[in-house]
Amino acid sequence: MSNSEDRVLVLIQLNGGNDGLNMVIPWIQYDGLSKVRPTLMLPETSVLKMTDKTGLHPSMTGLKDYLMMKRWL
């Protein structure tokens, strides 16, 4: 049985990393980022454009569809 005062702590450790600037791409800073990250930036043509200021990694089509469905874009 569970008591309303029971608490559970869940820890998740992920190996590797997430490059946030290649996940949500700031269009407004794309040229500058390309200069300082020439081997890391995605090609501009592969980015899923969200707004005039941001884009998403091309593998994030599901998130883009969800955000558009919720009219958050």
What is the tens place of the pLDDT at every residue in 17-64? Answer: 778 888 999 989 999 999 999 998 999 999 999 988 999 999 999 999
pLDDT at 5 over 80: no
Return the number of other C-beta atoms located less than 10 Å from residue 33's C-beta.
17
Could you tell me the pLDDT band of residue 71, with boundaries at 50, 70 and 90? confident
Distance, first Cα to last Cα, the chain: 44
- Alpha-carbon distance of 10 to 72, in angstroms, equals 30
Q: Which two tokens stand for residue 19?
A: 């490059």
pTM of the complete model: 0.69
With vertex at residue 23, the alpha carbon angle to CA 22 and CA 26, rounded to the nearest 5 degrees, is 70
Distances (CA, A) of 68 to 17, 28, 52, 59: 27, 21, 15, 16
Could you tell me the pLDDT band of residue 2, with boundaries at 50, 70 and 90? low
